[in-house]
Amino acid sequence: MAEFTSKIRTIEWIDTYSRMVDQTKFPEHFEYIDITTGQDMYNAIKTMIVRGAPAIGIAGAHGVILYAQELEKQNLPHNDFIKQLLEKADYMASARPTAVNLMWAVEKQKEIIRNSTSDIKTLIEELKANGKKLELEDIEINKKIGDYGASVVPKGATILTHCNAGALATVGYGTALGVVRSAFAKDPSVQVFADETRPRQQGARITTLELTMDGIPVTLITDGMCSYFMKKGMIDMVCVGADRIAANGDAANKIGTYTVAIAAKYHNIPFYVAAPLSTIDTTIKSGDDIVIEERSHDEVTHINGKPVCAEGVKVLNPGFDVTPHELITGIITEKGILKPDYNKSIMEAFKL
Ligand code: MRU
């Protein structure tokens, strides 16, 4: 397996707390923050100290352990402990609504809580072990996604990406940027064009940072420039992550992704979504059922704390959009590259 090692470890459980990179400080500072309470973890997810679908999944799993540790100190009867912990887990899963990995990882912890026959101390150890397992699996899955994805990257390709689906959106390595890392390991002439990704600028603040740290060539463009460069023949492929994929292949990702997909289709450029199976929500038929997070209007009216518009102007700020499956060339997963008809290929992938 061709593999490009990234040193970035975005989130990690350490003994009794969760350590994560504080992504609100980029690009000026690369700092870690230790999260020691369940409520602080909820806030860290909500305020995007940790962000990116797989990373917030792991954060949610860690948050359940933090709540378990807090409840243990209250010396509750066993049944009350279980009941309250399950309620806290549901609260943790509600920190952000779109990325299904959060609900998925919290559900993995809830299964352990519901099925436990052990005493509380042992149950907490089981939750910690499961958290660690999910962390390590995430990196392994991303490397597999990277390897499959690299097989469809043309020689010397320029890959356009939107938002950040990198090591910093996962435990490490990344999904869309995992594809870039694996492709770059085989062919160092591969390069990336990163959309700025307004309003929160994950492309500018995070993608350019992590690729530069790893020595992978990256060019920053603003969101509206993508079709200009596509027309000029300067983009060979698009690869993005996803926050939730419906059973029919419709894929929610950072707002602006849909526009990129339409532009790619018009210019005949392959458009790939890279995501683990944990991002696929087979309980929903199509993207119409995906809840789209509406975020603070300040993100649109201000850049770096400074207003960029008339005071009091009306604003809308959906955090994500849904790219219809017709625009997606393939979904790169740890089980291979899924192709249309997605209803079929997704179901097949879950059986592998
Ligand atoms: O709002 P964010 O920064 O959490 O949004 C992140 C994205 O949209 C990513 O592309 C997606 O979560 C995939 S991360 C591997």
In tens, the pLDDT along 40-51 reads 999 999 999 999
- What are the catalytic residues? 243
**pLDDT band per the 50, 70, 90 thresholds, residue 304:** confident
Locate 210 and state its tokens. Answer: 């992590």
In this predicted structure, what is the pLDDT of residue 1? Answer: 45
Q: Residues 126, 183: one domain?
A: no
Domain assignment of residue 293, yes or no: yes
When divided into structural domains, the chain yields a total of: 2
73 Cβ contact partners less than 8 Å away, ≥ 6 residues apart:
none
- The domain that holds 102 is classified in CATH as 1.20.120.420
How is residue 140 written in tokens? 């392994």
Q: Is 301 in the pocket of ligand 1 (CB under 6 A)?
A: no
Bridge-partner residues for 220, per DSSP? 194
Output the CA 170–ligand 1 centroid distance in Å: 9
Are residues 161 and 137 both part of a single domain?
A: no
Q: How far apart are CA 37 and CA 96, in angstroms?
A: 18
Q: Mark residue 249 as left, alpha or beta (left: phi above 0; alpha: psi -120 to 50; beta: remaining).
A: left
Section 84-93 average pLDDT = 98
Reply yes or no on whether the pLDDT at 9 is more than 50: yes
**Is the Cβ atom of 53 under 6 angstroms away from ligand 1?**
yes
**What is the 255 CA–ligand 1 centroid distance (Å)?**
10
> Which range marks the domain in which residue 115 is found?
11-142
Ligand 1 pocket, residue 165 CB under 6 Å: yes
Alpha helices in the chain (DSSP H): 38-46, 53-72, 78-93, 100-115, 120-150, 176-186, 202, 208-213, 226-231, 257-266, 298-301, 342-351
Q: Tell me the per-residue pLDDT of 217-233, one tens digit each, with 9 for 90 and over.
A: 999 999 999 999 999 99
Regarding the beta carbon of 51 and ligand 1, being less than 6 Å apart is answered yes
CA 254 to ligand 1: nearest atom = 8
Query: b vs e for 183-205, b when ≥16 Cβ sit within 10 Å of the residue's Cβ?
Result: bbbeeeebbbbbbbbbbbbbbbb
CA of 349 to the centre of ligand 1 (A): 23
